[in-house]
Chains A and B, each alone.
Chain A
Amino acid sequence: MSRLRRSWPRLLALAVVAVLAISVPFSFPPFRVSQFTLALAYAVAALGLNLLIGYTGQISLGHGAFFALGAYTAGIIMAQTGLPDLVGIPLAAAITFATGLLLGIPALRLRGHYLALVTLGVAVATPQLIKRFDGLTGGTQGLAAGSLTPPAWLGLAQDQYLYMIALVVAALAFAMAANLVRGRVGRALVAIRSGEISARATGVNLTTFKLRAFALSAMLAGIGGALYTYAVGFVAPESFTIAVSFVFLAAIVVGGLGTIAGALFGALFIQFVPVYTSGVNEALAGVLYGTVLILFMYVLPGGVVGLGRRLLGLVSRPRGRRSEEITTPAEPEPAPRKAAGV
């Protein structure tokens, strides 16, 4: 199959998505546009988590903490300093990247369940930590960050401007991630996930890549957090409980672990499901998330994107099924196969 023939469905899909995305602020009322903006913020953060869990198999439940860190950075910039508002994005990125790098070092020493455990603990402690530094963070009351004012020459309304910024940032983030995943780094990441022994054999430096993945995922969470603050205009400790980490996990499982596009689908899921379920019961969204996490592990480990790929009969990327399915083929073989002495 020539490269063009193999990639035309993907290019077509990208083009459709791009057109749809750009038309959003002009086709929907402001409140709906804001919801899409939030979805974009979540998509960036989910992308980070997917890189970590889906590609390197490191289970971190502390994503909410990095999200909070980025959100509060942007919030503090807007509320407490005179710096231009948009500085929040690169600053959040830098701070969360650095923190991710720092925390990634001990995190590397922890395997599987323990990493999940420790990051769970950090996420549980996050609201308390926020309240503890109340001089900076505004404590329990939170920070009112205000809203971004669009420059007049753009001719956009406030919600449209916000959306466009989020769209640009998200597009950059997704482009970077796609590039990463297809390149040498990405193939190394997949090698790591499918069994570290094989990665060691290929001479890939595990430590560096896992650390970089951790820091990158933290950075994307931070950027997502900053976008969140712009969209919501307000940050408070109770918005950043362990539930945030869980919601992001649900997002990437639904979207598709280890896929790029999955982050977008997942973000749309977690943004719009509560919109419709909160009318029925405030707990319904959570019940759905939990159920979906379980059911998807049974029947759709590849998430929506995995399903889409199968339905469209698209041959998966050069790396094969491993990118979508997290369960096979690295399963231990059943015992009978091993002995020849029959």
Chain B
Amino acid sequence: MSDDTPVSLLEVADVEASYGPVRALHGISFQVQQGEVAALLGPNGAGKTTTLRAISGMVRMRGRIRFDGHSLPGRSTEAIARLGVAHVPEGRGNFPTLSVADNLRLGAIVRRDQSSVAEDLERCYQAFPRLATRRAQPAGSLSGGEQQMLAVARGLMLRPRLLLLDEPSLGLAPLVTRELYETLARLVREQSTTLLVVEQKANLVLEFADRAHVLEAGRIVLSGTAAEIRADEGMRRSYLGY
């Protein structure tokens, strides 16, 4: 089914990416609509993280990527962030020796509307109470789940148009993951942020996503609505492992 609304927020077209001599993406194409929650699924090594890195200008690539009308390839990572793309990477991207509060402030550090940052910080603490109690502690002293929350919260502090999340559930207990996704889904709708999530745990994220794209060995093998993919047992078994 075609989903070509005239202006997708994010358009990825024929993107190839390599790490040195190793080709990780063999020409992938997909789109993400404004306000959507999109999931990138697939097994380990399929190219999901590489896709996010390509969007953020962190890997050598060919092809076209357009975000909000801007062409991204060739721009520096920081320039892309300044366009409104928040990327919470695999390693979380926290600053372990800095306090929780400083980490959150860093999320908003390039925003023009600095006067609203304090307000956003408070909303963050309300949404993630555990971060509130630990606001003065160094980020490295938090538990894995809390650090993940911090990373996501930091991403949101940018008030991004597009939030890229790389495996937010990694290392988290299922209950914590669910809680995180619920909070995330709520905040994303409140801020009308568009979300692109990379996950291996397909079953959980499909409950929250609108659309999903499945990668394998550097290619997209399936794109569709979350509902379609959840319903397609054959696909699920082959690519998503359940």
Whether A and B touch (Cβ < 8 Å) is answered with: yes
Question: Could you tell me which A residues sit within 8 Å of B by CB distance?
Answer: 336-337, 339-342
Name the CB-closest residue of B to A337: B19
Given A336-B19, A336-B53, are A341 and B90 neighbors across the interface (CB < 8 Å)?
yes
Question: B58 at interface (Cβ–Cβ under 8 A)?
Answer: yes
- Check if B20 sits within 8 Å of A342, measured CB to CB: no
Binds A, one of B40-48, B178-186, B202-210: B40-48
B interface residues, Cβ below 8 angstroms from A: 19-20, 24, 44-50, 53, 58-59, 90
Closest to A333 in B: B20
Cα of A336 to Cα of B56 in the assembled complex, Å: 13
Contact assessment for B19 and A340 in the assembled complex, using a CB-CB cutoff below 8 Å: no
Q: Are A342 and B59 in contact (CB under 8 A)?
A: no
Interface of A is mostly: loop
**How many pairs, one residue from A and one from B, have CB atoms within 8 Å of each other in the complex?**
22
Evaluate contact between B46 and A336: CB separation under 8 angstroms.
no
CB distance from B23 to the nearest CB of A (A): 12
Beta-carbon contact of B58 and A342 below 8 Å: no
Chain A neighbourhood of B46, CB < 8 A:
342
List chain A residues, Cβ under 8 A from B45: 340-342
| Residues of the A chain whose Cβ atoms lie less than 8 Å from the Cβ of B20 | 337
Q: Cα distance A341–B50 when bound, in Å?
A: 10
How many Å from the CB of B189 to the closest CB on chain A?
A: 30
Q: How far is the CA of A341 from the CA of B47 in the complex (A)?
A: 8
Once bound together, how far apart are the Cα atoms of A340 and B48, in whole Å?
11
Shortest beta-carbon distance from B100 to chain A in Å: 25
A336-B59, A342-B24 given; name 8 further pairs at CB < 8 Å: A336-B53, A336-B58, A339-B49, A340-B45, A341-B45, A341-B90, A342-B46, A342-B47
| Contact partners of A340 in chain B: CB under 8 A | 44-45
- A342 contact set on B, CB distance < 8 A: 24, 44-50
In angstroms, Cα B49 to Cα A336, docked, is: 10
Could you pull out 22 A-B pairs where Cβ atoms are within 8 angstroms?
A336-B19, A336-B53, A336-B58, A336-B59, A337-B19, A337-B20, A339-B49, A339-B90, A340-B44, A340-B45, A341-B44, A341-B45, A341-B49, A341-B90, A342-B24, A342-B44, A342-B45, A342-B46, A342-B47, A342-B48, A342-B49, A342-B50
Expressed in whole angstroms, the Cα–Cα distance for A342 and B216 within the complex equals 11
Nearest CB in chain A: distance from B17 CB, A:
9
Residue of B whose beta carbon sits closest to that of A339: B90
Best-surrounded residue of A339, A340, A341, A342 (most CB of chain B within 10 A): A342
Q: Which of A337, A340, A341 has the most CB of B within 10 A?
A: A341
Question: Which of B19, B58, B59 has the most chain A CB atoms closer than 10 A to its own CB?
Answer: B19
With the chains together, A186 CA to B242 CA distance in Å?
A: 59
- A179 and B59 CA atoms in complex are apart in Å by 47
Q: For the complex, give the distance between the alpha carbons of A341 and B198 in Å.
A: 12
- A-side contacts of B49, CB under 8 Å: 339, 341-342
> Residue on B with the closest CB to A341?
B44
Bound-state CA distance A341–B52 (Å) is 13
Q: A157 CB to closest chain B CB, in angstroms? A: 63
Give the complex CA separation of A174 and B35 in angstroms: 73
CB A80 to nearest CB in B, in angstroms, measures: 61
A36 to B59, CA, bound (A): 54
6 smallest beta-carbon distances between A and B, as pairs: A342-B49, A336-B19, A342-B45, A342-B50, A337-B19, A341-B44
Roughly how many angstroms separate A340 CA and B45 CA in the complex, as a whole number?
Answer: 6
Complex-state Cα separation, A339 to B49, whole angstroms? 10
A174 vs chain B, min Cβ distance (A): 41
Question: Residue of B at shortest CB range from A338?
Answer: B19
A339 vs B24: C-alpha distance when bound (angstroms): 12
Q: How near does chain B come to A219, taking the closest CB pair, in angstroms? A: 45
Q: Which residues of B contact A336 (CB under 8 A)?
A: 19, 53, 58-59
User: Can you name the residue of chain A whose Cβ is closest to the Cβ of B44?
Assistant: A341
Expressed in whole angstroms, the minimum distance between the Cβ of B217 and any Cβ of chain A is 10
Cα–Cα distance between A337 and B49 once the two chains are bound (Å): 12
A342 to B90, CA, bound (A): 9
A342 to B48 CA separation, bound complex (whole angstroms):
6
Residues of B contacting A337 with CB < 8 Å?
19-20
How many Å lie between the Cα of A341 and that of B49 in the bound state? 8
Q: Hey, which chain A residues are within 8 Å of B44, CB to CB?
A: 340-342
Within 8 Å CB of A341, what residues of B? Answer: 44-45, 49, 90
Q: B48 — which chain A residues lie within 8 A by C-beta?
A: 342
Q: Which chain B positions have C-beta within 8 A of A339?
A: 49, 90
| A-side contacts of B47, CB under 8 Å | 342
What CA separation (Å) do A342 and B51 show in the bound complex?
9
CB distance from B36 to the nearest CB of A (A): 23
Distance in Å: Cβ of A34 to nearest Cβ of chain B: 55
